[in-house]
Structure 1
Amino acid sequence: MDLGLKGKVAVITGASVGIGLAVAKGLAAEGVDLVLVARHKDRLDEAAGQLSADFGVRAIGIAADVATAEGVDAVLRGVDDGFGGTDILINNAGTGSNETVMEAEDAKWQFYWDLHVMAAVRLARGLVPGMKRRGGGVILHNASICATQPLWYEPIYNVTKAALQMFSKTLSTEVIGDNIRVNCINPGLILTPDWIKTAKELTAQSGGDWEAYLQGVANEHAPIKRFGTPEELANFFVFQCSEKASYSVGSTYFVDGGMLKTL
Structure 2
Amino acid sequence: MDLKLRGKVAVVTGASVGIGFAIAEGLAAEGVNLVLAARQEGRLTLAAEKIAAAHGVKAVAVACDVGAAEGTQKLIDGVERAFGGCDILVNNAGTGSNETILEAPDEKWQAYWDLHVMAAVRLARGIVPFMQKRGGGVILHNASICAAQPLWYEPIYNVTKSALMMFSKTLATEVVKDKIRVNCVNPGLILTPDWIKTAKELTAETGGDWQGYLQGVADEHAPIKRFGTPEELADFFVFLCSERASYSVGSTYFVDGGMLKTL
Q: TM-score, normalised by structure 2?
A: 1.00
Instruction: Kindly provide the CA deviation profile for residues 4-49 of structure 1, in whole angstroms up to 9, marking residues without a partner as x.
Output: 0000000000000000000001000000000000001111111111
Q: 2:20 matched to 1:20?
A: yes
Secondary structure at the residue paired with 2:62? strand
Q: 1:45: which partner in 2?
A: 45
1:80 CA displacement: 0.5
1:2 CA displacement: 1.1
Return the alpha-carbon distance in structure 1 between the equivalents of residues 219 and 53 of structure 2.
39
Question: For structure 1, which runs of at least 5 residues remain unmatched after alignment?
Answer: none
CA RMSD of aligned residues (A): 0.3
Q: 1:147: which partner in 2?
A: 147
Q: 2:165: which partner in 1?
A: 165
Equivalent residue runs for 1:206-221 within 5 Å = 206-221=206-221
Q: 1:240: which partner in 2?
A: 240
Q: 2:126: which partner in 1?
A: 126
Return the alpha-carbon distance in structure 2 between the equivalents of residues 186 and 79 of structure 1.
26
1:50 CA displacement: 0.8
Return the alpha-carbon distance in structure 2 between the equivalents of residues 68 and 206 of structure 1.
39
Q: 2:230: which partner in 1?
A: 230
Q: 2:32: which partner in 1?
A: 32
Return the alpha-carbon distance in structure 1 between the equivalents of residues 239 and 188 of structure 2.
18
Return the alpha-carbon distance in structure 2 between the equivalents of residues 153 and 45 of structure 1.
34
Question: For structure 2, which runs of at least 5 residues remain unmatched after alignment?
Answer: none
Aligned length: 263
Q: 2:57: which partner in 1?
A: 57
Return the alpha-carbon distance in structure 1 between the equivalents of residues 200 and 171 of structure 2.
39
Secondary structure at the residue paired with 2:28? helix
Instruction: Kindly provide the CA deviation profile for residues 31-78 of structure 1, in whole angstroms up to 9, marking residues without a partner as x.
Output: 000000000111111111111110000000000000000000100110
Return the alpha-carbon distance in structure 1 between the equivalents of residues 8 and 96 of structure 2.
31
Return the alpha-carbon distance in structure 2 between the equivalents of residues 105 and 142 of structure 1.
25
Return the alpha-carbon distance in structure 2 between the equivalents of residues 197 and 170 of structure 1.
35
1:175 CA displacement: 0.1
Overall identity of the aligned pairs, in %: 76
1:118 CA displacement: 0.1
Q: 2:86: which partner in 1?
A: 86
Instruction: Kindly provide the CA deviation profile for residues 229-254 of structure 1, in whole angstroms up to 9, marking residues without a partner as x.
Output: 00000000000000000000000000
1:164 CA displacement: 0.1
Secondary structure at the residue paired with 1:73? helix
